[in-house]
Amino acid sequence: MEKPKKTRLATIWLSGCSGCHMSFLDQDEQIIELAKNVELVYSPLVDTKTFPEDVDITLIEGAVGNEEQLSLLRQARERTKILVSLGDCAVTGNVTALRNAWSPSERTVLQRAYVETTDVNPQIPTDIPKLLKQARPLHEVVQVDYFLPGCPPSADLINYVLTELLASRTPNMEGRSKYG
Ligand code: SF4
């Protein structure tokens, strides 16, 4: 008998601290259950270089902050059936967007990050992607299907949303704590 097709899952890390991915991993043994039904086709957790075609669900951590991320986000949207904003940076901009109020100038932001707050060998790198004028939540750039708030969202909440989506149900976030 032919094995049932696994859901093709991707995760992306844009301008975030990786805390949302840590929370994803924090699902502990529930990940084993997930793995029975899911094939992880793209993620910082696996060694795949290009975003694949025909992805069922993509979880995206972080706001969109530079041109490389913008391009990846648009590509992921084109190739994904269900796109989920994972965590407050993706949902609202959160800490990533603090730079928006401070300065819209790329040079000033880089000067602050790489020179003014650096003790050893301060210099602005030349081989980094060009910053967007402002860091943006995902839904301001592409259509987002579900929002999974929290900083980070709790592992239980991530597991609940994934379980519902895998069962082709709509997650009901009402009354659910984002902090577990
Ligand atoms: S939402 Fe919080 S945990 Fe997730 S990337 Fe942003 S700062 Fe980190």
Hey, whose CA ends up nearest to atom 6 of ligand 1? Answer: 89
User: Cα-flanking dihedrals φ and ψ of residue 120, to 5°?
Assistant: -110, 125
Quote the pTM value. 0.93
- Answer yes or no: are the C-beta atoms of 139 and 71 closer than 8 Å: no
18-76 pLDDT, tens per residue?
999 999 999 989 989 898 999 999 999 998 899 999 999 999 999 999 999 999 999 99
Name all residues whose Cβ lies below 6 A of ligand 1. 16-17, 19-20, 61-62, 87-89, 94-95, 151-152
67 vs 1: CA distance, rounded Å: 46
> Residue 164 C-alpha to ligand 1 middle, in angstroms?
23
pLDDT, position 145: 97
